[in-house]
Chain A
């Protein structure tokens, strides 16, 4: 496990509901989140030392779309600020790394995305290799289908296992006011549904979602000054696998295994795991690669199968875990974010309560 120069905690967090259609601009989604986290800790926004956001121009259909998002944060007088073309969880990574230098105290992190205006399958196929894969439209759902089929072929899972993930996620989401989908579904009912992308059915795939999330993280002394119940970020790491689906064992995630080792996942109990399960078979791969057993509550929020605002969804996993720890549902847990098709790139963040 990497030794850290500074202890860092989450002191405030906020998210929008997962919207099927948010009928206003992306900054209009982010701004209430930013206002909320600043209010929670009673800070003046000008006292935030560093701000970093994650978003994706392609979702907005416009180069430099992220520039508009600073309207939601405030940049006058000028601010110390940056942006990653990645999920907000990677903005959190960079903010956490920045605090390790010890010369600043607070970072405002956000992630946002609106999937509803565009065509998800056409857009995201542009994430693949532009010479070989993108021209044939190798979109994420197709690759998720390959992954599901590989699991079945390897005898590692069945379609019933996928349906069980869906049923549990939707049931868990009944307790999550921010979820887009929720309810009681029987596994047999789910299995009676037609295929959308064989062997995946509609609810094995995520809904189209719009949403935003924000948090403030701080170095230890400042964190205690700003709130009574900081949630400590014990470790954060991310790793990537090859972009060639044929160069990977699609039934496993080596990058998750490396990250789990680097964050010392099993150096303590794992009470809660909030995982970016965008397609139901991914939960089976992630449980295995993370070495989770029956003692870990997986996606008590319902996870991305019940609301998947890309670019905010990974940061939202960290928020859901922090909320669970603050609520006393567990003392320590892991949040997972993912980027790229078929779980290509993975980030793990270990949180622990102030116990």
Chain B
């Protein structure tokens, strides 16, 4: 049997901010869930299964939190499932939820990803539970330097991405960082954290949750809401360290996008995809993923950034919502990418809408740039390319 068609029929987000001490963990996830249900015109009664995701439990100090969040998510008497695939988890969770619908076993599925980083020490957790660790930026900076050396990209590319994403975030009321006076000069003059990454080229640490309601084709047609059809999804994993590993352009990332495009019938991603929400926690990852996910030729990604192609209004907008650089509740960040891609093809992206967007992708990566999860959404169930 072919997979049952699956569509996004509702989305919900919390406001992302440094510290959401106005809500418990239960309150945080419920806020996103209720907004997604409202958007879908549904209630908890309509939900057949729940899939949650977040980064390591140690971020908040709650072990297997689905057990304590199930009441708040209306999950009593239902299946509730928990995904954990490092930083890619938000997108992986959305994909696991799509699998439930595609299987034909569940008609309507609620999926939620969250992080409440203010309840713990993210850099400690991201350093594998060791104090004094290098954190994610310390892991990625040498690979970014390698990218710059290989591509001969000028140093201002990173600053441009940092400015562009923060300017986009001004149009997104949910974004954590609203920095109206951001400029190339300010990014360049901000403290150096991990050469070449300045403070303003790095993602914030956020509290927040994102939720998506998925339905099969019957549910989507009945809902009366604009659907975003999930026409393709893919995941790939590789080892974090081994001799000869290409950490700038990891093979798992290349193969993940190849699988994603093949399934959708995409032959020219640069032309056939209208916009993308890519997981860019540090500025330089925009050009790196444009290349690593085959949107640009090798060595050409930074030229798209430099030419303004990735700006809102450019020929291939990236991170219209402000991206991870503007909001980073880690475990939710991948789901936010998927959700914002859906917003674009549903025509519900508000001030950061790409006019007429029909095909978009949501993406996340994790671990030592070794876990990849991507989905492609379309305003049509069977788009022609």
Contact = CB atoms under 8 A, between A and B. Distances in A.
Counting contact residues on chain A (CB < 8 A from B), the size range is 35 or more
Contact of A98 (B62, B83, B103, B237): B103
Nearest to B67: A340
B76 A241 contact: yes
B92 interface: yes
Contact of A63 (B56, B70, B83, B96): B56
B71 A101 contact: no
A75 B125 contact: no
B68 A129 contact: yes
B77 A258 contact: yes
A244 B70 CA distance: 10
A40 interface: no
B126 A75 contact: no
A85 B64 contact: yes
Contact of A123 (B63, B77, B102, B255): B63
Contacts of A86: 64, 81-82
A343 to B, nearest CB: 12
Contact of A80 (B70, B76, B235): B235
Interface stretch (A65-73, A145-153, A164-172, A295-303): A65-73
- Which of B3, B64, B84 has the most C-beta atoms of chain A within 10 angstroms of its own C-beta? B64
Given A64-B56, A67-B240, A82 B67 contact: no
A240 B80 contact: yes
Contact of A64 (B3, B100, B256, B367): B367
Contacts of B129: 61-63
A243 B68 contact: yes
Interface in A212-252: 237-244, 247
A22 interface: no
A116 interface: no
A185 interface: no
A83 B83 contact: yes
Contacts of A58: 57-58, 63-64
Most chain B CB within 10 A, of A63, A81, A239, is at A63
Contacts of B105: 2, 4, 97, 100
Contact of B71 (A79, A98, A100, A243): A243
Contacts of A70: 237, 239
Contacts of B314: none
Contact of A67 (B4, B75, B367): B367
B86 A64 contact: yes
Given A2-B105, A78-B237, A94-B81, A242 B63 contact: no
A94 B83 CA distance: 10
B60 interface: yes
B104 A84 contact: no
Given A78-B237, A240-B76, A241-B76, A127 B99 contact: no
B191 interface: no
A4 to B, nearest CB: 7
A176 interface: no
Contacts of B1: 5-6, 100-102
A158 B58 CA distance: 39
A254 B63 contact: no
A101 B84 contact: no
Contacts of B78: 239-240
Interface string B38-58: 000000000000000001111
B2 A93 contact: no
Given A5-B1, A101-B99, A82 B56 contact: no
A329 interface: no
A344 interface: yes
B24 interface: yes
B1 to A, nearest CB: 4
B236 A78 contact: yes
Contact of B70 (A61, A98, A240): A240
Nearest to B120: A63
A70 B81 CA distance: 21
B61 interface: yes
A58 B58 CA distance: 7
A90 interface: yes
A81 B237 contact: yes
A100 B103 contact: yes
B385 interface: no
Contacts of B55: 63
B102 A101 contact: yes
Contacts of B67: 127-128, 240, 243, 339-341, 344-345
A101 B232 CA distance: 13
A102 B239 CA distance: 28
B59 interface: yes
Contacts of B126: 63
Contacts of A84: 81-84
A64 B56 CA distance: 6
B237 A75 contact: yes
B125 A63 contact: yes
A81 B370 CA distance: 11
A328 interface: no
A101 B78 CA distance: 21
A36 interface: no
A42 interface: no
A130 interface: yes
Contacts of B100: 97
B338 to A, nearest CB: 15
Contacts of A268: none
B183 interface: no
Nearest to B89: A83
Contact of B61 (A62, A78, A126): A126
A57 to B, nearest CB: 5
Q: A-B pairs with the 4 shortest C-beta distances?
A: A63-B56, A100-B103, A78-B252, A101-B3
Given A79-B237, A128-B68, 8 more contacts: A56-B64, A63-B58, A83-B85, A85-B84, A86-B81, A133-B68, A254-B77, A341-B67
Interface of A: 2-6, 56-58, 61-64, 66-67, 70-71, 75-86, 90, 93-94, 97-98, 100-103, 123-124, 126-131, 133-134, 237-244, 247, 254-255, 258, 339-341, 344-345
Interface of B: 1-4, 24-25, 55-64, 66-68, 70-71, 75-86, 92, 96, 99-100, 102-105, 125-126, 128-129, 234-240, 242, 251-252, 255-256, 259, 367, 370
